[in-house]
Amino acid sequence: MTAHERHATDSPDSLKSETSDYRNRLNERLQKFLTHITFRGQFTTDKKGSENEPPKQDEYTITSASHVSGDYWLLTSRIQYRDIDVTLPVPVVIRWAGTTPVITLEKVTLPGMGTFSSRVLVHNNRYTGTWQHDDVGGHLFGTLSKPESFSDIPTK
């Protein structure tokens, strides 16, 4: 039986099961990939008067990544920028652009820091995205590193 014939005879339930199994494998690999990973890079701001300012340094280390359910995750993260250095659990949504994860915060309040929204795309050993902190926002980008070597997120 060819793949086309097999899919033509699959029931909706068996296709849903295949998709669910694939998503579970992808989530397991993503959890391993994100645990003990450091996002080290820079961010820009788009507030008035900052157009000519150089990007500023920031660093985020995810010490653990836990898949909660569906697209919901909890990332225990050490956040370092300016004079802030704090570790706390950050609830996020992770959606997939094909096989590329996009980490999403939607108006999440982080204690002592404020309310944030962001979209961060992770690919190979790099990340890029946008962020919003109350009335100020901008772009962020940089590289990923782990204590051990790693490759891109396994997708199969």
Which CATH number covers residue 115?
Answer: 2.40.128
Q: Which helix (H) or strand (E) holds 19?
A: helix 12-34
Q: What does pTM read for this prediction?
A: 0.80
Three-state DSSP class for residue 43 = strand
| Residue 154 counted as domain residue | no
| Residue 103 counted as domain residue | yes
Per-residue pLDDT of the chain (156 residues; tens, 9 = 90+): 444 444 444 544 544 556 888 888 999 999 999 999 999 999 999 988 888 899 999 899 999 999 999 999 999 999 887 788 999 999 999 999 988 999 999 999 998 889 999 999 999 999 999 999 988 999 999 999 998 655 555 555
CA distance 112 to 98: 35
Length of the chain: 156
Amino acid of residue 83 = D
| Residue 156 counted as domain residue | no
Give me the number of domains the chain comprises: 1
